[in-house]
């Protein structure tokens, strides 16, 4: 279980799902909602792929996985549109794009297909938390340095801190992710060797 | 043979279950989603007409504010709105919609029918490429329309979206680099609405 959060962190170590990690991290709130969506989808997909693992024909297993993933993603998207409309507008297409997020497919293929439902759900949640950790960290620094705020509250007052626009824009995401991976590799070199 | 039949049956059942689940949820949330979308549209009309409203107002509150402050002059296939208490009586908001690069683009253009200048532009629905064409949803880009004339130098109705950074004539608006197709489509969509508005103005004197 700990593997998904740290040792085999989906983004920093497995290098999966980077696209969305870069796209929705300009504000901490966006990153957290996105992470919540991913945890929900990972846990749900893990549960159902695992439950159906003995009766799913091997030849169409990937199609079946995608159908299950898509169902959960659309459920979450509908829920956001109905109850958190402004958030749904901010995340735009990225919630829908969870369907193609490699983490979900990878966990379904690599873990849920071979394991019992409860470990599969836990694996999904663990990987989701790993994703949350990375997105949260990146978004925290991007929002702090880019707008001087944390969750919309001003922390770095504008009198003495000039917000660094680049952190909000796309290049800032690359810098932040690069630094994060570099730091993680520096503090625990074993992770680098654990890479597939 | 038996194997293929099993695969077919499995797919049919899985497909049906997923579809049923989604249909159920879509049905259950339809009302709220529609209310949110309508509220979003109203917010756009209010802001383009420069009517103040509470950012946190509920869809119901927006509905009543809309009924109170906006005069709906839509007729047939043209969407037209006027502010009831507007300082400038010549300003109307005209709805535009059409096909963009990936999906529909819908929004409102507020124009002064007397000076023939644009007073505001908002877009409430678009699915253009995030970061490129998607920038048409950005208030910075929308602000570029304000004050531009919607009639060309030779009197031909319509705006022209030109390259970013290019020198601009009175009815030209700087486009977005890397979003040539979106800019072209947006220009077409907006000009259709402008032409329609001009016809309407002629008809009503």
Q: What contacts B197, CB < 8 A, 6 or more positions away?
A: B78, B80, B92, B94, B111, B113
Whether the per-residue pLDDT at A82 is higher than 80: the answer is yes
Whether the per-residue pLDDT at B159 is higher than 50: the answer is yes
What is the per-residue pLDDT across B45-77, written as a single tens digit (0 to 9) for each?
988 888 888 877 788 888 888 888 888 888 778
Put simply, whether the predicted model's pTM sits higher than 0.80 gets the answer no
B50 touches chain A (CB under 8 A): no
List chain A residues with CB under 8 Å of B40.
Answer: 85, 89
Determine the Cα–Cα distance for residues A57 and A162; give it in Å rounded to an integer.
Answer: 58
Does the distance separating the beta carbons of A92 and B130 come in below 8 Å?
yes
> B99 by DSSP, 3-state: which?
strand
Q: What contacts A181, CB < 8 A, 6 or more positions away?
A: A12
pLDDT at A20: 75
Length of chain B (residues): 205
A85 touches chain B (CB under 8 A): yes
Average pLDDT over residues B158-186: 84
pLDDT at B186: 93
Determine the Cα–Cα distance for residues A58 and A104; give it in Å rounded to an integer.
Answer: 18
Which of B27, B58, B129, B130 to mutate against chain A (most A CBs within 10 Å)?
B130
Residue A13's alpha-carbon distances to A4, A133, B1, B82, in angstroms, are 10, 13, 44, 57
Of A23, A67, A93, the CB nearest to B18: A67
> B205 by DSSP, 3-state: which?
coil
Which of A78, A95, A174 to mutate against chain B (most B CBs within 10 Å)?
A78
Of A64, A71, A82, the CB nearest to B22: A71
Which of A19, A62, A82, A174 to mutate against chain B (most B CBs within 10 Å)?
A82
Determine the Cα–Cα distance for residues A131 and A35; give it in Å rounded to an integer.
Answer: 7
Query: Between B155 and B93, whose confidence is greater?
Result: B93
pLDDT at B12: 92
A54 touches chain B (CB under 8 A): no
What is the per-residue pLDDT across A37-48, written as a single tens digit (0 to 9) for each?
999 999 999 999
- A6 — pLDDT class (breaks 50, 70, 90): low
Whether the per-residue pLDDT at A182 is higher than 60: the answer is yes
**Can you read off the two tokens belonging to residue A28?**
């901490």
**Can you read off the two tokens belonging to residue B204?**
């009503």
Determine the Cα–Cα distance for residues B141 and A163; give it in Å rounded to an integer.
Answer: 21
Determine the Cα–Cα distance for residues A177 and A158; give it in Å rounded to an integer.
Answer: 25
Partner A, chain B 72-131, Cβ-Cβ below 8 Å: 127, 130-131
- A196 — pLDDT class (breaks 50, 70, 90): very low
Which has the minimum average pLDDT: A32-46, B143-157, B185-199?
Answer: B143-157
A1 touches chain B (CB under 8 A): no
List chain A residues with CB under 8 Å of B36.
Answer: 81-82, 85
Query: Between B205 and B174, whose confidence is greater?
Result: B174
């Amino acid at each position: 279980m700990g593997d998904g959060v740290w040792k085999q962190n989906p983004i920093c170590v497995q290098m999966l799902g980077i696209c969305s990690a870069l796209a929705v991290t300009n504000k901490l709130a966006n990153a957290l909602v996105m992470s919540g969506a991913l945890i929900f989808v990972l846990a749900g997909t893990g549960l159902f792929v695992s439950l159906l693992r003995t009766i799913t024909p091997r030849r169409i297993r990937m199609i079946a996985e995608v159908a299950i993933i898509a169902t959960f993603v659309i459920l979450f998207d509908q829920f956001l549109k109905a109850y958190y409309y402004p958030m749904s507008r901010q995340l735009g297409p990225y919630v829908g794009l969870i369907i193609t997020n490699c983490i979900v497919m990878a966990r379904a293929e690599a873990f849920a297909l071979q394991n019992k439902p409860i470990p599969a759900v836990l694996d999904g949640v663990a990987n989701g938390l790993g994703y949350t950790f990375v997105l949260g960290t990146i978004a925290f620094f991007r929002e702090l340095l880019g707008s001087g705020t944390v969750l919309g509250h001003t922390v770095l007052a504008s009198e003495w801190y000039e917000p660094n626009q680049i952190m909000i824009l796309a290049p800032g995401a690359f810098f932040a992710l690069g630094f994060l991976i570099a730091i993680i590799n520096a503090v625990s070199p074993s992770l680098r060797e654990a890479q597939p | 043979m038996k194997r293929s039949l099993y695969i077919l049956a499995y797919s049919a059942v899985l497909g049906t279950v997923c579809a049923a689940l989604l249909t159920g949820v879509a049905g259950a949330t339809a009302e709220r989603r529609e209310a949110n979308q309508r509220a979003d549209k109203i917010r756009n009309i209010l802001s383009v007409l420069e009517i103040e409203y509470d950012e946190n107002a509920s869809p119901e509150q927006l509905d009543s504010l809309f009924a109170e402050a906006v005069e709906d002059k839509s007729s047939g296939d043209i969407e037209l709105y006027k502010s009831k208490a507007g300082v400038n009586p010549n300003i109307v908001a005209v709805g535009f919609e059409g096909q963009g690069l990936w999906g529909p683009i819908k929004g409102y253009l507020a124009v002064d029918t007397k000076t023939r200048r644009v007073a505001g532009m908002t877009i409430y629905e678009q699915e253009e490429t995030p970061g490129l064409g998607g920038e048409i949803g950005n208030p910075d880009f929308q602000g570029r329309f304000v004050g531009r004339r919607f009639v060309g130098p030779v009197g031909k109705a319509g705006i022209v979206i030109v390259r970013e950074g290019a020198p601009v004539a009175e009815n030209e608006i700087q486009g977005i680099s890397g979003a040539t197709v979106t800019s072209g489509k947006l220009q077409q969509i907006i000009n259709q609405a402008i032409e329609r508005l001009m016809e309407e103005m002629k008809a009503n004197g």
